[in-house]
Structure formats: structure tokens, C-alpha cells
Amino acid sequence: MVQKVVLLGAGGKMGMRITPNIKDEPSYEISYVEISEKAAQALKEKHGVTSSPGSEPVKSADIVVFAVPDKLIKNVSADIVPQMKTGAMVIGLDPAAHFGEVMFMREDLKYFVVHPCHPSLFPFEDGISEAAQRDWFGGTGAAKMDMVCAIHQGSDEDYERGEAFARLMFKPIDKAFRITIDQMILLEPALVESITAPLVKGMRMAVDACVEKGVPRDAVMSFVMGHLKVQFGVLFDFAGFPFSDGANLALRNAMDVIFKPDWLENIMNKEAVEKSVHDITHELND
């Protein structure tokens, strides 16, 4: 049976990524909804699909994908969700609106959330193409990636329905990990937005500082990218060998200089995660 799908926010960043993967799928009939004229035009030019600003298609949809900004989901879902037919499924692309309880809930609907893991830094595959190595986000067809999925409300069967469509949106998908919304929120924002992104930003700042102090950029980049490979290998247990004694000493001494006491708990604790989710899902000064 052909399922009717509405992609809300089709001309945004995620909508533009998802559209080419789903537009020609025979088992789904897709309607594209986009309120920005500029984004609708970009969608038409890049992917040849026509969108509408009105939400009429939502009424008969089996699946509605919320590819709209997290800050708008509270208002947009309060408008869209009441129009949906009983048994239909909301698909969220981020756990924040679901964990933060801003997504409009109805007992007779299903709620599924998916987030791509993105192509791995270390794919460990023979013959991986340059296009795959340069596929930073995933879902372009070049590199495989995994995804995490959660059923916020619904049965195992509903989960399967959500996963099947999510596999298309982000194809080619390798593994789909079924986790809970509470677990997904620890992955994002806590782990990857509040911890790994600032750590990588710190690395970039240190690289720029070496260049400013006169080391040629090419030499800095070659040195740091190579050392990062060894360091990920050792610290994530891929390599199976330790650092030198000197490297271990420098690492231990610098930890106290760079990290504040309790930094990890300060970000991963419940209140901090809830505040981060609130910031993501509400307009500034809300």
C-alpha cells in the first residue's frame, strides 16, 4: 500500500537533503510543504519538486516529517498535529522537541524520532572512495552511515514503519540502533553538541595559534591530523598500543589545566541537559 507522506520544511537544510532520497520512491507519495518562497524556489531548482505553503496535505497523510527548526516545533506542531488523521505518524529529526515536551501530543498518533549518526571518522572498509571520504553529513549516496531511532509513542510495529522510512530518508543506512528518547538526548545535545563540538573547536583554535606563532599551516595540519589518528587509535582502543611515557605525562598534566573539575557531570547532569533542551526548543527570551 502506498503511504502518503508530508515533508514539512522541505526547502530547509534537512528537507533539501531528504528530498532527493524519497522523491522517486514508488511506495510513498510525497507532498512538500514549505512556507518560505525562497526555500520553495531553491527546492524546485535543485530537486525539481513543487511545494505548497499550505498544510492541506497533512489531513490525509500517513506520515508527517517535521523538518522545521526546533524553536518553531511548539507552534508548528500545535497547528499541524490536530489536523492529522488517527493512526498517522509524526517523525521528528531531533529528540529535543520530544524530550522537552514541546511537540504537540495526541494519544491516537504515533511518534517516531530519528537522528543520523553521520559517516564514521574511521569507516574501516577496504577501497573506500574519495567521494565517501568527503561525505561529511551522509545521506548523499556516497558513504554509508548508521542512525539512532526511538519510538516516543507507539508499538514495535510502528517502530518498524518509522525505521523503514528513516532508512530511505538517510540512505544508504548501515545499522539502525533502537534507543529511547532519554538516551538520544544524552547523545545530542549533551555528547556531540555540548562536549565533542567544543573540544574539536578547541583543537582548531590551537592549530590557528600555532600558525599565528609562525609554524607553516601545511606543516601544522599534517602534524595534527596524523597525531589525531594515533590519539583516537590509542584512546578509543583501536590501536592496541599505548602512548609513550612522555606523552602520557604531558596529557595528565594538561588535563587539569584545560578541564574544570566536574566538567563532564556539569554537562551530563539532568538539569543541564534539560536547560540545553529548553534553549534549543524555545525562542530566545521566551
Min dist. Cβ of residue 245 to ligand NAD (A)? 41
* Binding residue (CB under 6 A) for ligand NAD from 5, 8, 61, 148: 8
CA 268/CA 245 separation, integer angstroms: 31
Q: Which is nearer to ligand NAD, 34 or 62 (CB)?
A: 34
Strand bridging mode 51-52 / 63-66: unpaired
Distances (CA, A) of 68 to 16, 20, 140: 12, 17, 20
- Does position 135 bind ligand NAD by CB under 6 A? no
Q: Which is nearer to ligand NAD, 33 or 273 (CB)?
A: 33
* Binding residue (CB under 6 A) for ligand NAD from 6, 32, 70, 154: 70
3-state secondary structure labels for all residues of the chain:
CCEEEEEECCCCHHHHHHHHHHCCCCCEEEEEECCCHHHHHHHHHHHCCCEECCCHHHHHCCEEEECCCHHHHHHHHHHHHHHCCCCCEEEECCCHHHHCCCCCCCCCCEEEEEEECCCCCCCCCCCCCHHHHCCCCCCCCCCCEEEEEEEEECCHHHHHHHHHHHHHHCCCEEEEEECCHHHHHHHHHHHHHHHHHHHHHHHHHHHHHHHHCCCCHHHHHHHHHHHHHHHHHHHCCCCCCCCCHHHHHHHHHHHHHHCCCCHHHHHHCHHHHHHHHHHHHCCCCC
* Binding residue (CB under 6 A) for ligand NAD from 76, 81, 103, 149: 76
Residue sitting closest to ligand NAD (CB): 12
Of 38-57, which residues contact ligand NAD (CB under 6 A)?
Answer: 39
Q: How many residues bind ligand NAD (CB under 6 A)?
A: 20
Min dist. Cβ of residue 234 to ligand NAD (A)? 30
Min dist. Cβ of residue 34 to ligand NAD (A)? 5
* Binding residue (CB under 6 A) for ligand NAD from 5, 9, 171, 190: 9
CA 110/CA 112 separation, integer angstroms: 7
* Binding residue (CB under 6 A) for ligand NAD from 28, 52, 69, 239: 69
- Does position 191 bind ligand NAD by CB under 6 A? no
Of 84-123, which residues contact ligand NAD (CB under 6 A)?
Answer: 93-94, 115
Listed ranges 8-16, 119-127, 163-171, 227-235: which one lies at the site for ligand NAD (CB under 6 A): 8-16
- Does position 172 bind ligand NAD by CB under 6 A? no
Residues 6+ apart with CB under 8 A from 217: 211
Q: Which is nearer to ligand NAD, 80 or 151 (CB)?
A: 80
- Does position 30 bind ligand NAD by CB under 6 A? no
- Does position 14 bind ligand NAD by CB under 6 A? yes
Min dist. Cβ of residue 125 to ligand NAD (A)? 24
Binding site for ligand NAD (CB under 6 A): 8-9, 11-14, 33-36, 39, 67-70, 72, 76, 93-94, 115
